Structure 1
Amino acid sequence: MKPETPEDVMARLTEAVEVVAVTRKADGPRAILAAWPDYKGKIARRRRHFSPAQISRAEEALGWFFLIGDADARRALQFEVMCKAGGGKFSAVCRKYGWKRSTVTSRNRVVLKKLAERL
């Protein structure tokens, strides 16, 4: 099922980060998180086992980030998704990079809306 709303896209991306964070394979999807800026492995581990279908669904959703042409917009959304998945506080990330949280959040909503339309 493809996401229809920006909220659906955010939910799928957050779920994908959670699935990838608990995947134990060093050469698999977990390696994707290590390439993200400032990832420190702090994603909440709510579940220990995921089916192959769930892992495939997560990998598909993570591929959506490549549909975002603007690297800064992609990075800001990745940070918000990681924080929603339990990887830290988004307000702290915004402070660290000198971003105004409300501005970044509203820009991320625009990016999510465009992604929902493309998918």
Structure 2
Amino acid sequence: MTTNAPDMVMERLVEAVEVIAATGKGDGPKAVLAAWPDYRRKASRRRRSYSPREISRAEEAITWFSLVEDPEARRALQFEVMCKAGAGKFSRICDKYGWKRSTVTSRNKVVLKGLADRVAS
């Protein structure tokens, strides 16, 4: 990956959540996305078809979450990704869990850097 590898990993993860949510795969994040009130309003934007290549690319990226060994770090990253995919406001999630948003965002950047290194190798 390039010098902006953490940003590229974030983009791929957001894309993966959007694709999997739109394709309606029962084992994907669709159920989690549906828990947010804004999801139904944005569902019409998600209604599009994806090529098998795009779906495979999304399925590959979604497995990257399993590379994050710390469950709390993984959960924080998943929430941020899902919020960026349009399912809610990350600041509300941070408030709900008692997290300081700037701290969680900084930690997620470190996690993304680690993921970028692992995915690139």
How would you bin the TM-score normalised by the shorter chain?
Answer: 0.7 to 0.9
After TM superposition, give the deviation of residue 39 of structure 1 in Å.
Answer: 5.1
* Map of 1:31 onto structure 2: 27
1:107 aligns with 2:102: no
Which structure 1 segments of 5+ residues have no match? none
TM-score w.r.t. structure 2 length? 0.84
What letter is aligned with 2:29? L
1:53 aligns with 2:48: no
Greater helix fraction, Structure 1 or Structure 2:
2
Aligned length: 112
Which structure 2 segments of 5+ residues have no match? none
TM-score w.r.t. structure 1 length? 0.85
With over 3 angstroms needed to count, the CA separation of the structure-2 counterparts of 1:68 and 1:39, relative to structure 1, is: farther
1:1-119 matches, within 5 Å, as 3-4=1-2, 5-24=5-24, 28=25, 30-34=26-30, 36=32, 40=35, 42=39, 44=42, 45-119=45-119
What letter is aligned with 1:54? E
After superposing the two structures, state which structure 1 stretch, 95-104 or 41-50, moved more. Answer: 41-50
CA distance in 1, matches of 2:103, 2:9: 19
After TM superposition, give the deviation of residue 32 of structure 1 in Å.
Answer: 1.9
Question: Aligned with 2:56: secondary structure?
Answer: helix
Please provide the CA RMSD for this pair. Answer: 1.9
Cα deviations by residue, 1:49-98 (Å, 9 ceiling, x for unpaired) = 00000000000000000000000000000000000000100000000000
The runs of 4+ residues in structure 1 deviating greater than 6 Å are none
